[in-house]
Structure 1
């Protein structure tokens, strides 16, 4: 019969040892990455590798399920998988040593591969993974050996009942290493030196005034409707979809932009060089190609920056170049049509400001691209550090080989913000059906609403700063008894009517009419 000295099952204890070893790996690796200024983090590298290697449909599924929380969800899934594998490795080390330690060695090798193959990885970036796996192997072997000593002592017939020092030693060591690893690892992630420097530099920035200020937002741009999306999206509410698991931390003093490729004159800009150039303000609506019909992966903001067309004019593209391949500090790339960036009527910017403040870190600080009329995956490169003038025939952006279209013009779209789908109202109520519509760089001239079998009705349309921004709309409907499907469609300034054909986001943006159901009783 088991005694009080053996109430903790060996397998459970071994699994705990494996989990603590994994925590030790992360703690040591993240502490080492902290010393390196945030570089070489295996957690970020492995997560980024998962994003890169995942099939195209997986990214759409994550965004559809979790929206802008897709990266948090990925980290949670990775943590659950890591804990399960680590627990299994601890049990394996107890039953078949040293194969449990070998599992950690293999995991360390995979993380090392992920780190060293990331764009821009340095000579020492593999150090955190190497030291981390060394710590994990030592911890799992030491803890499992103490577990074996405890089991042997508990099974010795000559031992008397009572607390076993071997048991206490195992539990104390396991708990202590686990707590220390959690505290150290969490502290390392929160205290990355590069993040601190970049944040301090951002706080100290005072952006210059634009030589061309954006027109004031007209009073008629905002309708007095509860639940409608604000005309200008606050920075904190602006959607974020990108491939960076760790927001790049760039000190503006260390930032530079290289313009090269098929050009007569190669250009390199520093942060001070960029701020010394004439800056312009433009209000523009940006949207993600992953946005579903009626989705919220879209926002409108006031951007401050230098016109990209002016920079390209200085570089003087040559030959048959037709694309600019922009590269982010984290290795992301986007292929943007050259003629769009050179168009005098397209206010494409190297942006440094957003809604009157320096760019937030998660939205591209210190510099990003903003190109009205194109989906972000082919234009809105954050943390941009390189512009290569080239051809679509010779280069591809990040998402093109993953099944997305090489060119991504934003489609004519509209959305119902209020009331929510499934709302019940009283017969005779005056119901404000309202939302936003957009067709950046073209503009929206009408929004039409169809309630049930009734004819299409023109909604009241709010003002806007320019064709590059969305427009609010509202139809005030007197509720009639029954359940009604409410559909909307937009009409572009060019006369185009929004298509009713339902298509998914891939490969170049979703289409269809946003539809809700209202019941009046």
Structure 2
């Protein structure tokens, strides 16, 4: 290693030792208070909505790992500069490590669900990093050449030994996080025995094709949680409060004693581009939310339900939407869900309980890791995404998608089956139409739909001639409203436009 780079190496390694130690401590108390996770979460909160949409659109489910990697890269660059500054005088190094630690402290304690204890990992990180910096740099008064090599050790052995130590501490932090927190939550979930529903979901109609129900493993996940909240059901409670006559709190066991409803519902993320993957259908099990609200006694004027997650996320839902959900034939009620596809909610999908409001995008009605429901008004409170420019009320827009053939596919001339899904929650789909190039729109064949709040599968037989072709799809709901072809991005209230696929026929 070049002598001039040695202080940079010392700074990076010192910061890595400190951060890894903080992550180990956070694994024991609260994984979200780990320095990297806390700073990453603060970065997410400060990121403009359009940048977030770009990240989801381009990186998909890899957006969070990329963000964490970016935090680590920036930390390494700053730490290298701190090490360089400390090579001649120690105090700039200690100040630099203190500043990095202070940023992590602020990030940890300003989380919505944070306590002062969450500052401990960041404080320990700063202290350990400063101590490592002091040990690895030459002692005051030592000759200048001592700054270029560690005392009593061959440099190569020293570098290798420190690198192994950092890797070991980092691995311990990762292992601690997964073992201490994840296993406890998984064990808590494994102990849950869901009660049989008092209202079974009707069997899927004959003619529904495979893939109608999205498996838990394949169901999309879009949220701001860098670490999946780990919740112990024995300590979990749901509080209903705010503009109600009779606020109350209910435990998980008490929630399971309530009448359970089973239903198929399609869930759609507002970040979903036209033809995008952030939509899925599952069989949900849960308690009718309207029943809990009536028990509490909703006061006049309470037009917004503010749902809070254990990690502090807030979701705002129109009260009228919840109270009226499921009252129209063919529509499904809003639920506090405890089950998904015949098993307890997966950890990443909201265990132990989440909200599910058919007909609105997830950010406006489907709070995961739910722990608090407050009756309020849209005038008094803006939920997390509304403060970032998204619409306060966001009904799902009528849309459709081509799943087969895939974009830029090569297919053989002759009979080609074009297939996909369409949805118009609350109204249902009456027609799906397919257009080839600029020819007339042709009706597709609809598969049966279980209810008005699920997507519907469709197929269309196309006699394909050789050459390049463009396929388009549009849906018509049961009120006669035709899906718009005007293109709009997801921000601020959902994408619009016709899904278009280019194929080559050989």
Worse overlay, 126-135 or 84-93? 84-93
Q: Is the 8 A contact 2:22 2:35 kept in 1?
A: yes
Trace 1:334-413 onto structure 2 (pairs within 5 A).
334-343=315-324, 344-345=326-327, 346-413=332-399
Aligned match of 1:519: 504
Corresponding residue to 1:233 among 197, 200, 214:
214
Aligned match of 1:218: 205
Structure 2 residue matching 1:235: 3-state secondary structure: coil
**Alignment RMSD, CA only?**
2.1
Q: Hey, what's the Cα distance between the residues in 1 that align with 2:164 and 2:465? A: 67
1:127 CA displacement: 0.6
Structure 1 residue matching 2:333: 3-state secondary structure: coil
Q: Hey, what's the Cα distance between the residues in 1 that align with 2:7 and 2:186? A: 42
Structure 2 residue matching 1:299: 3-state secondary structure: strand
Q: Hey, what's the Cα distance between the residues in 1 that align with 2:459 and 2:164? A: 61
Aligned match of 1:197: 184
Aligned match of 1:180: 168
Q: Is the 8 A contact 1:93 1:100 kept in 2?
A: yes
1:217 CA displacement: 1.1
Corresponding residue to 1:270 among 221, 240, 251:
251
Q: Is the 8 A contact 1:112 1:130 kept in 2?
A: yes
Aligned match of 1:246: 227
Worse overlay, 8-17 or 240-249? 8-17
Q: Hey, what's the Cα distance between the residues in 2 that align with 1:440 and 1:140? A: 59
Structure 1 residue matching 2:95: 3-state secondary structure: helix
Structure 1 residue matching 2:115: 3-state secondary structure: coil
Worse overlay, 511-520 or 341-350? 341-350
- The answer to whether residue 435 in structure 2 is matched with residue 450 in structure 1 is yes
Worse overlay, 500-509 or 260-269? 260-269
Aligned match of 1:426: 412
Structure 2 residue matching 1:200: 3-state secondary structure: helix
Aligned match of 2:137: 144
Worse overlay, 331-340 or 95-104? 95-104
Aligned match of 1:62: 55
Aligned match of 1:482: 467
1:404 CA displacement: 0.4
Q: Is the 8 A contact 1:150 1:167 kept in 2?
A: no
Query: Structure 1: which 5+ runs fail to align?
Result: 1-7, 157-162, 224-229
- The answer to whether residue 155 in structure 2 is matched with residue 167 in structure 1 is yes
1:203 CA displacement: 0.8
1:315-368 deviation per Cα after TM superposition (whole angstroms, max 9, x unaligned) = 111121111111110000011000111014241000000000000000000000
1:164 CA displacement: 7.1
1:359-395 deviation per Cα after TM superposition (whole angstroms, max 9, x unaligned) = 0000000000011100001111001111111111111
Q: Is the 8 A contact 2:36 2:71 kept in 1?
A: no
Q: Is the 8 A contact 1:280 1:304 kept in 2?
A: yes
Q: Is the 8 A contact 2:298 2:375 kept in 1?
A: yes
- The answer to whether residue 450 in structure 2 is matched with residue 465 in structure 1 is yes
Structure 2 residue matching 1:135: 3-state secondary structure: helix
1:253-294 deviation per Cα after TM superposition (whole angstroms, max 9, x unaligned) = 111011111111112111011001101001000010010001
Q: Is the 8 A contact 1:327 1:334 kept in 2?
A: yes
Aligned match of 1:115: 108
> How many aligned positions are there?
500
TM-score, with structure 1 as normaliser: 0.92
Corresponding residue to 1:31 among 24, 36, 43:
24
Call closer, same or farther: CA 1:137–1:250 in 2, change over 3 Å: same
Corresponding residue to 1:281 among 254, 262, 266:
262
Call closer, same or farther: CA 1:243–1:353 in 2, change over 3 Å: same
TM-score, with structure 2 as normaliser: 0.94
1:219 CA displacement: 2.7
Q: Is the 8 A contact 2:20 2:166 kept in 1?
A: no
Q: Hey, what's the Cα distance between the residues in 1 that align with 2:110 and 2:43? A: 13
Aligned match of 2:287: 306
Worse overlay, 197-206 or 16-25? 16-25
Aligned match of 1:292: 273
Q: Is the 8 A contact 1:335 1:397 kept in 2?
A: yes
1:13 CA displacement: 2.5
